[in-house]
């Protein structure tokens, strides 16, 4: 009786081990698939940005890299790591494609780009209503947070006041990238 139970337990354990090996394999495969997809998307985006800059004969503005740790919160460590990795890869692709095409890339101080109003220059944490939403608490100017950040990056690249939008920078990339969330 005892012997039988031991054999059954052993078999179950072996099955579980097998199952988790398969699960681990499956997880690894999924991660690889996600990485390949992300890489494709990053190639497409960087290609589109560089060809847009070429068409308009202008440069590209990017946020200077911040420390990776700054963006990682305890709650979504995994996601933040993925997002950082994806964004870092996009920068890399952008930079070498731009260099190959002879397009200047300007790096901009990213401080408060997502909290500054591009219309009146008012900077406040509360301007950023949520992850995606911007609404100036002084003048009411509203928009998508990523667009607002991109406008501020462009303005900084041009060395202008927050609302001086010149024609020389075709594309600006905000740091908040939701790229990694697409499956």
Among 49, 94, 136, 150, binds Zn ion (CB under 5 A): 136
Which span sits near Zn ion by CB under 5 A: 27-35, 61-69, 109-117, 145-153? 109-117
Question: What whole-number distance in Å separates Cα of residue 27 and Cα of residue 6?
Answer: 31
Q: Which is nearer to Zn ion, 59 or 162 (CB)?
A: 162
Among 58, 95, 107, 120, binds Zn ion (CB under 5 A): 120
Contact assessment for residue 171 and residue 45, using Cβ atoms and an 8 Å cutoff: no
Q: Which is nearer to Zn ion, 43 or 122 (CB)?
A: 122
Q: How far is the CB of 115 from Zn ion (least distance, A)?
A: 11
Question: What whole-number distance in Å separates Cα of residue 168 and Cα of residue 61?
Answer: 10
Is residue 179 within the footprint of Zn ion (CB under 5 A)?
A: no
Contact assessment for residue 86 and residue 180, using Cβ atoms and an 8 Å cutoff: yes
Is residue 155 within the footprint of Zn ion (CB under 5 A)?
A: no
Among 41, 54, 107, 119, binds Zn ion (CB under 5 A): 119
Question: What whole-number distance in Å separates Cα of residue 83 and Cα of residue 34?
Answer: 12
**Structure token digits, residue 74:** 């305890």
Is residue 161 within the footprint of Zn ion (CB under 5 A)?
A: no
**Structure token digits, residue 116:** 């500054």
Q: How far is the CB of 106 from Zn ion (least distance, A)?
A: 25
Is residue 139 within the footprint of Zn ion (CB under 5 A)?
A: yes
Question: What whole-number distance in Å separates Cα of residue 86 and Cα of residue 173?
Answer: 13
177 CB burial (10 A radius; 0-12, 13-18, 19+)? middle
Is residue 112 within the footprint of Zn ion (CB under 5 A)?
A: no
Using CB under 5 A, list all residues that contact Zn ion: 117, 119-120, 122, 136, 138-139, 141
């Amino acid at each position: 009786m005892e012997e039988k139970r031991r054999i059954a337990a052993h078999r179950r354990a072996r099955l579980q081990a097998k199952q988790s090996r398969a699960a681990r394999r499956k997880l690894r495969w999924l991660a690889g698939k996600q990485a390949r997809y992300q890489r494709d998307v990053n190639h497409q985006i960087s290609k589109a940005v560089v060809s847009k800059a070429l068409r308009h004969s202008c440069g590209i503005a990017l946020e200077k890299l911040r420390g990776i740790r700054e963006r990682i919160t305890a709650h979504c460590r995994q996601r933040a790591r993925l997002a950082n990795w994806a964004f870092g890869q996009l920068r890399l692709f952008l930079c070498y494609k731009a260099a190959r095409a002879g397009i200047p890339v300007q790096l901009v101080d990213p401080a408060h780009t997502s909290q500054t109003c591009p219309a009146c220059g008012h900077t406040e944490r509360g301007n950023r209503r949520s992850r995606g939403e911007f609404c100036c608490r002084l003048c009411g100017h509203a928009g998508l947070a990523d667009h607002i950040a991109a406008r501020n990056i462009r303005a900084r690249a041009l060395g202008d006041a927050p609302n001086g939008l010149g024609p020389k920078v075709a594309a600006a990339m905000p740091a908040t990238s939701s790229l990694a969330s697409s499956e």
